[in-house]
Structure 1
Amino acid sequence: MSQAISEADDRMTRQEVFAVAVCIFINMLDGFDVLVISFAGPAIAKAWNLAPAELGLLFSSGLAGMMLGSLFLAPLADRIGRRPVVLISLMLVSAGMLASSISNGLYVLAATRVISGLGIGAMLAGLTATVAEYTPERRRALAVSLLQTAYPVGAILGGMISAIMISQLGWRSVFVLGGVLPAMLIPVVFFALPESLAFLSSRQQPDGLARLNAARRRLGRSELGEMPPRTAGADRRAGSVLALLTPEYRRSTLLITFTYVMVMMTLYFALNWTPKVVVDAGLSEAVGIQASVLVNIGGVIGASIFGLLAVRYREVRTLRVYMLACIAGLVAFGMVDMHSALLWVAAFVMGCFLHGITIGLYTLLPRLYPAEVRSTGAGWAIGVGRLGAIVGPATAGYLFDSGFGAASVYALFALPVLLAFVAVSRIDDRPAHGRAVQSAQ
């Protein structure tokens, strides 16, 4: 071969750093777009006189769209490329958000939230694969963790901006903002975000070498004299859900999907119910919101630290430590005196490790699959995991209605994390032939 594809250094070109930065910013916008309905929900309920169940429909419609996008749109990234799917996702998010801003009824708004969710669900999986493939092996866990950390950062900043905009301009204004920003990113992605080198290397097309070298030039890399070696059957497996259940990947697929369901169940329980639990303890709604924000701030810090630790100790080992700390944090939060300063400590610790686990799983996913099924594997793990996000809050509501106290409920929701600990401990995260990221760098 005229030039080895595995250039030994871990350096990233400026163009690659910029491409990763664009992906991180996109994910930050996703964090805002997902939670914008939570920010605008009280104002919408007041304007349209919605019952709690009707408001719940609006909350769940976006989540349903995200699940469908992860399951059925994300696999397209393994067939047509990461870049086209990111562009399609941005268009869906922008169209859905702008349509939400002019909706005139509950069901119309719910439908527009599904459209936005489709784009966000596809993008979450696609961006994870894209950033993993832009980044050298040694820095991959850190890069993917930074990508996913942008999600809660977007939620925090979005909440601050939304509070001002809704009070000054009304609830429709935040949907306009959520639609305009993704639209502005479409030309940036089109002109500045090349296709993933790993994806191009995994495809066997007549103009494959020309397309690969064109992308390499845009990323500041030297050209190759021939296509890199490919895994047998790569084209046949590309974007195939059934490929995830072949003997080579079945174990990893079942374990990572089960882990996602368990973690999402506890995460969305904590995100949805923590403000209400604080208020039910006799504190104000403002304190409940502040506790929720602190959970997310803890998550940003915890996820950033996870990325640094995973670079040295690998993902599974770091996840196991985080999961044990998360179990302790959940139990402690349920038992803490919420009228004391310990409330803030417990909220921070719980968010640090619970969000850290979630984002840690995103860093693990790209390691489990080769380029031709990476986005498919990520999409299905994330999409099926959304079932846990639906079941968790509903189960908590039943438990609270049945008379269980906060200490018991938070302790019970530590059990899914314990089961996730058992499952993730059985995942092999060592680089393996045919499974390691084909960086083509």
Structure 2
Amino acid sequence: MDLRARIDTSPMRPYQWLIVALCVVLNVLDGFDVMALAFTAKSIGAEFALSGSAIGILLSAGLIGMAIGALTLAPIADRIGRRPLILTSVAFATTGMALSATAGSEWQLGAWRVLTGLGIGGILACTTVIASEYSSARWRGLAISLYTAGYGIGATLGGLAAVSLQSQTSWRAVFLVGAALTGTVLVLLALLLPESIVFLAARGRATDLAAVNRTARRIGQDPVTALQAPTRDATARAGRVADLFAGTHARATLLLWAAFFTTMFGFYFVNSWTPSLLETAGLTKDQSATAGMMLTLGGTLGAVLFGMLASRWPTRTVLIAFSVLSALFMTLFIVSISLLTVAFILGIVIGGLVNGCLAGLYTLAPSLYGPRLRSTGVGWAIGIGRAGAILAPTAAGVLLDAGWRPAQLYFGVAGVVILAAVALLFLRPAPTVIPATTAPVAAK
């Protein structure tokens, strides 16, 4: 049974789009969480009397948790399934958001930010994979791009919530709202999210057959009479990090890591520091917040645009173009902030291009690995990328304290993003997949 090939060549059914929509909602949580802290950073810094470097560390704390979650939880998903790990990870994120609202010091807040990030890291690694596995070949790029666009929606909501709630109460209310939303999503997932049908088919247990056929019918696929039972060796190898470097996987893995690291460096610098940097450069607080909103709005539009373009041209080609254009428009944006209308338009463009880059990487990454290694491969790529995300806000805070101007920071980050295009030029998809199944198991 080549179930993945059948999904690839069949039309997308409403249930498949529902699964993609659930993944979009999960990525909304990531955007809300990151931008909620970015827009409350000034208030938090004032309450706890923090320097620029200390604020940068707090901005990075959640990203550290995301990296740990992606690196450590993703391999577990290749062993136990995408669904149970997603539910566990969302529970972590809910708890972390709620506890962040109770923090009495920067150290407590940092610890709860790590817990929140741990959950989001596990969520992102699994949702990227499950959205890819339930999408057809024709619409996979658009499905992943819609998923990525969720970040911009969440970031916009996070920014609006931060501005409104801070004016009425305090920064703590922003995190309470985030916890309530995340908890609500956890209930929806428990009711609606299925296990990955590709994972179940690759795992090959006789007890999985009923679940495979139940979901297969809902996505318009014929039921099957047997699954392919994996060998003992294949089962033991599921989720092994060492297999990311087996055979031709090694080259693809290293280049993918480089592309994720440099792209996320640029992405999180732009999204985490732009409001504060524009205020430092002379804009008012409201103008800076508006420019930050333009970035997130552009992110939503850009991710969808990437998906539309990727349905007509190769994903890697579109991704390289977006990377080069991101670097170019970053330099144009920072030198045009005196012209507010131009700066706001460029902010939309930059947000779209940078978010489109992430959409491309999320689309490309799952295609490089087999079903028993896919969450591990994607999770580790995201985890390495988060190292760039962690470094970006921290480095920016240190450099600001050292006297760097906003323009210098933007020029430097543009150079980092160009390196992503270089890595992608050398990346060739479709390495050899490690076999996962052999003999059939009949239904019981």
TM-score (norm 1): 0.90
- 404 and 5 in structure 1: CA distance in 2 versus 1, 3 angstrom threshold: closer
Q: Aligned partners of 2:105 and 2:409: how far apart in 1? A: 36
Partner of 1:70 in structure 2?
70
Q: What does residue 39 of structure 2 align with? A: 39
**1:184 alignment partner AA:** T
Call closer, same or farther: CA 1:13–1:341 in 2, change over 3 Å.
closer
Partner of 1:141: 141
Residue type of the partner of 2:383?
Answer: G
Q: Is 1:64–1:117's contact at 8 Å kept on the other side of the alignment?
A: yes
Is contact 1:267–1:354 with CA below 8 Å preserved after alignment?
yes
Equivalence for 2:120: 120
Please state whether the residue corresponding to 1:138 is helix, strand or coil: coil
Report the alpha carbon displacement of residue 255 of structure 1 after superposing the two structures with TM: 0.3
Q: Is the 8 A contact 1:75 1:379 kept in 2?
A: yes
Residue aligning to 2:433 = 434
Alignment RMSD, CA only? 2.8
Deviation at 1:267, TM superposition (A): 2.1
Match of 1:163 in 2: 163
How do residues 52-201 of structure 1 correspond to structure 2 at under 5 angstroms?
52-201=52-201
Q: Is the deviation greater in 161-170 or in 400-409? A: 400-409
Partner in structure 2 of residue 269 of structure 1: 269
- Structure-1 separation of matches of 2:315 and 2:68: 27
Match of 1:227, SS?
strand
Q: Which residue of 2 aligns with 1:20?
A: 20
1:365 corresponds to which residue?
A: 365
Tell me the equivalent position of 1:325. Answer: 325
Residue 189 (structure 1) shift: 1.6
The answer to whether the Cα contact below 8 Å between 1:75 and 1:240 also exists between their aligned partners in 2 is yes
- Distance of 1:133 and 1:394 partners within structure 2: 35
- Structure 2: any 5+ residue segments left out of the alignment? 438-444
Displacement of 1:226 = 1.9
Question: Could you tell me which residue of structure 2 aligns to residue 349 of structure 1?
Answer: 349
Residue of structure 2 in register with 1:311 after alignment: 311
Match of 1:29?
Answer: 29
Offset from partner CA, 1:67-107 (integer Å, 9 cap, x none): 11011012211111010011001110111112222333332
Contact 2:56 2:394 in 1 (8 A): no
Q: Matches of 1:434 and 1:146 in 2, distance apart?
A: 27
- Confirm or deny that 1:388 pairs with 2:388: yes
**1:222 match: secondary structure:** coil
The aligned amino acid for 1:14 is P
Where 1:422 maps in the other structure, the secondary structure is helix
Partner Cα separation in structure 1 for residue 421 and residue 382 of structure 2:
17
Identity value in percent: 36
Query: In the alignment, is the contact (CA less than 8 A) between 1:3 and 1:224 conserved in 2?
Result: no
Partner secondary structure for residue 41 of structure 1: helix
**CA distance 1:351–1:201, shift in 2 (3 Å):** same
Residues 1:238 and 2:207 aligned together? no
> TM (normalized to structure 2)?
0.89
- Superposed counterparts of 1:278-293, under 5 Å: 278-293=278-293
Q: Cα gap change, 1:426/1:230 in structure 2, threshold over 3 Å: closer, same or farther?
A: farther
1:34 Cα shift? 2.9
Displacement of 1:48 in angstroms is 4.1
Following TM superposition, by how much is the alpha carbon of 1:323 offset from its aligned partner in structure 2, in angstroms? Answer: 1.6
Amino acid at match of 2:286: A
Asked if structure 2 preserves the Cα contact closer than 8 Å seen for 1:15 and 1:218, the reply is yes
Is 1:207 matched with 2:204?
Answer: no
Cα distance, 1:141 vs structure 2 = 0.9
- Aligned counterparts of 1:165 and 1:315: Cα–Cα separation in 2: 40
CA–CA separation in structure 1 for the residues paired with 2:60 and 2:3: 51
Residue 434 of structure 1 aligns with an amino acid whose one-letter code is V
Q: 1:435 to 1:279 in 2, by over 3 A?
A: farther
**Paired residues of 2:62 and 2:114 also in contact (CA < 8 A):** yes
Ranges in structure 1 where 5+ consecutive residues have no aligned partner: none
